Amino acid sequence: MRTTTPVTVPEADLGTAPRSTPRRALDWRLRFGALSLIWGFSFLLIKVGTHGYAPFQVTLGRLVFGTAVLAAAMAVKRERMPRGVRTWAHLTVAAFLLNALPFSLFAYAELTIPSTLAGICNATSPLWGMALSLVALSEDRPTRVRVAGLGLGFLGVLTVLGAWQGFHGLDARGTAMALLASLSYPIGWIYVRRTLADTGFSALSMTGAQLFLATVQLGVVTPLFTSFPSRFAVLPLLAIVALGTLGTGLALLIQYGLVTEVGPTTAQMVTYFIPVIATGAGVAVLGESLRWSTPVGAVVVLAGAALTQVRGARGVSGGAVRRGVRVRVRGGWSRSSPRP
């Protein structure tokens, strides 16, 4: 589903002079709210999609429709696909880590766990990202606040899972898949940051190419592990179409505009609304049960994730963005404006 994903650094090609922000027809706060709703409801759409189709088929459909939206946007803006064997090789790995793998894992996870739990597991991406960056990124220095946030966040995870009850009633396999999906996003981010940070290609073309490659990957894998549907269930099919066109394609386009207009720090706050909306949607629409530990643990997870994003003056969200570094968001690329 990144993912999510915290502001992860790969992305940009900005000049040193500030650019004026284009006037938008729709206020950024409304677009921010729309993006939160779209991504929050994505877990519900995954759940509905798996009621009629295999998880790989849900993921393949999602990628097909998401790629179609970005391809249309590229055609309108007359964007070209990236060039170079090296760039495409790295994008292939990025497509697997940031799209094909996590999307598939979330779809398989929701066969056995509620969409509410999947949405909360997705919120652990900033925690995984902070833990991994301390090891893999030498410039990402730990602080007491961020380490405390990491510990607090994982305490929240244990609360959501009901660790004091021995994880009673919890499907371990499905939960592990959802957590692994959230871990895949920061792994992919670190890979992209190391290999594709300065390609010179536009954010839209990079994302379009990446989703296309993920679609090819699922196009190869899906026939090997699933059989062609004997009938096409209408409601699950509509859920997959909405998941791809809205939750993947349109959502990334909205995110581009938000990062450009209000900067990556504000745009990434959508991460903290997703589990809230996913939980509300799962309970209200799908009738999923909710134990007290789920919302309480989710609040603790979000508080910890927020603390892990607190950086000093030389942190990624400050110095790196001022230098015009690309910012990766939930499996797509978005340009950031130079910040003062």
The secondary structure of 182-197, three-state, reads HHHHHHHHHHHHHHCC
> % helix / strand / coil in the chain, to the nearest 5?
70, 0, 30
| Integer Cα distance of 265 and 250 in angstroms | 20
Q: Which of 54-63, 115-124, 224-233, 295-304 has the lowest mean pLDDT?
A: 295-304
* Residue range 255-310, pLDDT digits in tens: 888 888 887 767 777 888 888 889 889 989 999 888 887 788 888 888 888 887 77
| pTM (two decimals) | 0.81
- CB contact set of 134 (below 8 Å; sequence gap of 6+): 140, 142
Q: State how far the Cα of 51 lies from the Cα of 35, in Å rounded to an integer.
A: 25
CB of 101 closer than 8 Å to CB of 181: yes
Quote the CA–CA distance of 90 and 92 in Å, as a whole number. Answer: 5
Q: Tokens standing for 288?
A: 């999923």
pLDDT of res. 220: 97
